[in-house]
Amino acid sequence: MEEKKTKPKTQPNNPLHGIKLADMLEYLVKVWGWKELGRIINIRCFNNDPSIKSSLKFLRRTEWARTEVEEFYLYTLEKKGGPSKD
């Protein structure tokens, strides 16, 4: 039996489509730093011994926190400009 390949669904109205959570978090840390990020979004994993790995683990399991980070990422892109292409 031949498997049909389907094209991935595009989401033209979703500005976060195709952006990994890890990329968002790394960009926010680069722009704001952990201290300021923890002040703006009061999440323990940003304030106590912060790391990308522990923050990703928490954000993937906690919908409200992930939503806060995604919204702040969009705000940052709007105010500061997009991630630089190194």
- Residue 6 domain-assigned (yes or no): no
Residue 8 lies in a domain: no
In a domain, 9, yes or no: no
The answer to whether residues 47 and 9 touch, using CB atoms and an 8 Å cutoff, is: no
The pTM assigned to this predicted structure is 0.76
Domain that holds residue 73: 21-80
* The pLDDT value given to residue 86: 41
Residue-level pLDDT at 7: 57
Count how many residues are written for the chain: 86
Distance CA 71, CA 38 (A): 15
Looking at the 3D structure of the chain, how many domains does it have? 1
- Is 71 among the domain residues? yes
In a domain, 13, yes or no: no
CATH code for the domain of 37: 1.10.720.30
The per-residue pLDDT string of the chain (86 residues; one tens digit each, 9 = 90 and over) reads 555 666 556 666 777 777 899 999 999 999 999 999 999 999 999 999 999 999 999 999 999 999 999 999 999 988 877 654 44
**Structural domain includes residue 33:** yes
Distance between CA atoms of 16 and 53, rounded to whole angstroms? 20
Instruction: Write out the two tokens for 36.
Output: 């300021």
CA end-to-end distance (rounded Å), the chain: 45
Residue 6 has what pLDDT? 60
